[in-house]
Amino acid sequence: MVFRYLSTRHPVYQLRDEMDRLLSGMFQSAPLAAMARREGPAVNVWEEDDALRVEMEVPGVKNEHLDISVVENELSIKVDLPDHDEEGMTYHRRERPVGSFSRVVPLPVEVDAEKVSAELSQGVLRVTLPKAPSAKPRKINVSVAE
Amino acid sequence: MTDQEKVALENASPCEQTRSGPCYRPNVDILEKDDELIVMADVPGAVAEKVDVDFADGVLSVHAPVDESRQTDRKYLVQEFGIGDYCRSFRVSEQIDPSRITAECRDGVLRLHLPKSEAVKPRKIAVEAH
């Protein structure tokens, strides 16, 4: 299985990724650093004030091919993309991945598993994971001592 | 299809851009049927209405711009893929009827149908028995 972002990157970026992977244990939180040893389609993760957002590129995937679950502090995305062989066809080139693959994304903050939502549009899966109340930023008012 | 024709389907010309920003080369599947070639390209996040398929001088070029609202300055915790337009071009042999090329974009996959011209379609030859 070949993924665009792994295989076709310029060697300089591969080197950078490798350096990132080596150094990430020192500077990053441990769960996210563990993702450097990934398999499966690429994900982007970012944080907003009230939610974590995960984006994954899954071209050709439909709702029924997806299985998304949140267990404790891990988001797991399984994709089962059936092979699209048809009768009377010859493949001259086959770069697009097929088959089943999965990703487990360790979540750096506590999320409200009940309110997790996901949408699929134009081959991009977006998962929104609202933070648990305890993980949301809270403004602390400082009272002036008399 | 001969090896030579397969090579001819390789990238024909480097991608030219009018917009700044990264541009990615989409993964493609190329299939051949009796009456057509099918090119399927992974273009997740591309806007179907803006996909530009161009055929000139035997070169088929595909340019699929990505939704600009996605290209924001996010502070990623993990970034494994970049967001940008897709472009790739192919040299197509003369066996293709350029006027009947069609394209559709669904679920982030662009599917191009390149019908073979009548002259090269396989034809069953009936043998007459005397």
pLDDT computed for residue B16 by the predictor: 58
What pLDDT sits at residue B40? 92
Q: What pLDDT shows up at residue A56?
A: 92
Question: Which is more confidently placed, B22 or A39?
Answer: B22
Q: Does B84 touch chain A (CB under 8 A)?
A: no
Lateral strand order in the sheet of B36-42: A90-94, B28-32, B36-42, B109-115, B102-106
Single out the residue of B116, B117, B109, B90 nearest to residue B33, CA to CA.
Answer: B116
A22 or A95, greater pLDDT:
A95
Mutant choice from A57, A122, A126 vs B, greatest count of B C-beta within 10 A:
A122
From A121's Cα to the closest Cα of chain B, the distance in A is 7
**Nearest residue in A to B8, CA atom:** A92
Class at the top of the CATH hierarchy for domain A38-135: mainly beta
Residue of A nearest to B10 (CA): A93
More confident residue, A23 or A141: A141
pLDDT of residue B20: 67
| Average pLDDT, 10 consecutive residues per value, chain B (130 residues) | 46 55 85 88 90 85 83 80 86 80 90 85 77
The model's pLDDT over A42-81, given as tens digits with 9 standing for 90+, comes to 889 998 888 999 999 999 899 998 999 998 888 999 988 8
pLDDT score recorded for residue B6: 46
Residues of B in contact with A95 (CB under 8 A): 27-29
3-state secondary structure of A130: strand
Chain A nearest C-alpha distance from B126 (Å): 21
Q: Which residues contact A144 (CB under 8 A, 6 or more apart)?
A: none
- pLDDT computed for residue A125 by the predictor: 94
Residue A37's pLDDT is 46
Q: Where are the domains of chain A?
A: 38-135
CB atoms inside a 10 Å sphere around CB B26 = 23
Q: What tokens were used for B40?
A: 């399927």
Among the partner-chain residues B24, B30, B75, the one whose CB lies closest to the CB of A4 is B24
Q: What does the pLDDT look like over A122-145, one tens digit per residue?
A: 899 999 999 988 877 778 889 888
User: Does the pLDDT of residue A2 top 50, yes or no?
Assistant: no
Count, residues in chain A: 146
Is B24 within 8 Å of B15 (Cβ atoms)? no
Pairing between β-strand A43-47 and β-strand A51-57 as defined by DSSP bridges: antiparallel
Using the Cβ of B49 and the Cβ atoms of chain A, whether some distance falls under 8 Å is answered with no
Q: Is A14 helix (H, G, I), strand (E, B) or coil?
A: helix
Instruction: Tell me what pLDDT residue B17 has.
Output: 61
| C-alpha to C-alpha distance for A29 and A17, rounded to whole angstroms | 17
By three-state DSSP, how is residue A104 classified?
Answer: strand
Place of tokens 């149908």: B113
Q: For residue A42, which of B27, B88, B2 has the smallest C-alpha distance? A: B27
Give the model's pLDDT for residue B110.
93
Cβ–Cβ contact B22 with A under 8 A:
no
pLDDT in the model for residue B12: 42
Confidence of residue A27 (pLDDT cuts 50, 70, 90): low
Kindly state whether B123 is in contact with chain A, defined as any CB-CB distance less than 8 angstroms: no
Residue pLDDT, tens place only, A84-94: 666 678 888 88
Give this complex's ipTM: 0.73
Domains and CATH numbers, chain B: 3-13+22-69+83-120 (2.60.40.790)
- Rounded Cα distance between A41 and A97, Å, is 9
Share of chain A above pLDDT 90, in %: 21
